[in-house]
Amino acid sequence: MAQAVGEQLPFRNEAFGGILLVVTLCFVDDPLWVLREARRVLRPDGGLVLGMILAESPWAAHYREKGRQGHPFYSIARFYPRAELEGWLAQAGFRVVAYRSTLFQDPGASQIREEEGRPGFYPEAGFTGILAQRVQGVG
């Protein structure tokens, strides 16, 4: 087991076939740096999966309000728009392969019901999965 920060991973180059970052980038100081480190430790044929609450989502607005009310996690969370995230991925040497969206429920609902993810990006979704692959010759 290794304990580290995303900006300085203690692994050799191209060590992993896949990397999963779920609700992570909203809590790091430099998301682009974390994505560059992820690319460094990812094999050329590997994939990066991001699980995100994007800024366009009503859930991001819900959590921002919780942050304004002093919630210890959401007061420091930053929610990024899809375009900014795609820009960082490109700068870090990735290309987006697919989106999958879920959580099409009101964030104020008293109970969350299970639902299937939908292929594609939907701004009204509460949670978005993004599959990205390394671009060869970049980074």
Contacts of 110 (CB under 8 A, 6+ apart): none
Q: Is residue 50 part of a domain?
A: yes
Q: How far is CA 85 from the centre of its chain?
A: 8
Least confident interval from 5-9, 28-32, 57-61, 118-122 = 5-9
State the pTM of this model: 0.91
The structure tokens 């682009």 sit at 32
pLDDT score at 8:
74
Residue 70: pLDDT above 90?
yes
3 domain-assigned: no
Check residue 102 and give its pLDDT.
97
User: What is the pLDDT confidence band of residue 138, given thresholds at 50, 70 and 90?
Assistant: low
Cross-strand partners of 131: 49, 98
Total count of domains within the chain: 1
Does 10 fall in a domain?
no
CATH of the domain at 27: 3.40.50.150
Quick check: is 30 in a domain?
yes
Q: Which pLDDT tens digit goes with each residue over 7-17?
A: 778 899 999 99
Please report the sign of the dihedral spanned by the C-alpha atoms of residue 63, residue 69, residue 71, residue 76.
positive
Q: What is the average per-residue pLDDT within 131-137?
A: 91
Res 139: pLDDT: 57
1 falls within a domain: no
State the residue range of the domain holding 104: 16-109+117-134
